[in-house]
Amino acid sequence: MSQQILSDEPIIIARDVHKWYGHFHALKGIDMDVMRGEVIVIFGPSGSGKSTFIRTINRLEEHQRGQIIVDGIELTHDTRNIEKVRAETGMVFQQFNLFPHLTVLQNITLAPIWVRKWKKQKAEEVGMQLLERVGIPEQAAKFPGQLSGGQQQRVAIARALAMQPKIMLFDEPTSALDPEMIKEVLDVMIELAKAGGMTMIVVTHEMGFARAVADRMFFFDEGLIVESGTPDDIFKNPQEDRTKLFLSQILTH
């Protein structure tokens, strides 16, 4: 279990969120409240809309109906609001998406320097601290292509943390990693969750992670939330048949 909930106002409010890709109805009315400091795990079969939903939170995808309010700011077509929300959210991608032409440290310090207008020295200090926190300070001068997948993803986490966001979004962070590297990334995420204060929304298949640190879990299927609850509720007492079916499929090993 992670830190206690910090305040009463939800930091993310999603009300009846719908999204279409052309004719394809990807999100069919999502309602979700996320409290400050909560660690949320979203799981479900592929195509269920989990990644789509998490990407609507920082406007990498646009929702066509419904409301999304992040830290009091509503996400609409207004670009100023979008920029404010993006400054408060950090995202870690399945494909890492590091900037290959910059060194590891430059990847991390780029945004603070250009968006938060920090001085280079301050940005580099914070950057090195973050690299130590994720366990790879010695890689600072290397280029992403010279690192292993697990190391790259940890750099991606450090890059997102460098902007000191209130919310961290993880879109299947370990799905593209070789099995022996999954643990090192999950360890970083577990440490982040246990340190407290950070609202985390993690789309993942790693049920061990969910059991360890999740406050609540949401099961997505076919664009809807089928079931939600604490890890205890979901694992020991799943209510819906589809939940039970999916859990039986992924918990066989």
- Which positions lie near another protein, rule CB under 8 A? 58, 60, 83, 86-87, 89-91, 93, 95, 97-101, 110-111, 114-115, 143-146, 159-160, 163
Q: Which is nearer to another protein, 159 or 216 (CB)?
A: 159
DSSP-assigned letters across all residues of 173-210: TTTTS-HHHHHHHHHHHHHHHHH-S-EEEEE-S-HHHH
Please identify, using beta-carbon distances, which residue of 1 and 115 lies nearer to another protein: 115
Cβ–Cβ < 8 Å for 73, 124: no
**C-alpha span between 200 and 219 (Å, rounded):** 16
- Sign for the CA dihedral angle at 75, 205, 21, 227 comes to negative
Task: Supply 3's token pair.
Answer: 């830190």
Nearest approach in angstroms of CB 153 to another protein is 12
Residue (of 157, 214, 198) closest to 40 by Cα position: 214
Report the residue number, 82 or 224, with the smaller CB distance to another protein. 82
CA neighbours closer than 13 Å in the CB half-sphere of residue 128: 7
Smallest separation, CB 232 to another protein (Å)? 32
Least distance to another protein, CB of residue 171, Å: 10
Residue 79 burial (C-beta neighbours within 10 Å; 0-12, 13-18, 19+): exposed
Query: How near is the Cβ of 108 to another protein at its closest, in Å?
Result: 10
| Of residues 142 and 205, the one with the C-beta less far from another protein | 142
Q: Report the residue number, 80 or 253, with the smaller CB distance to another protein.
A: 80
For residue 57, the minimal CB distance to another protein (Å) is: 11
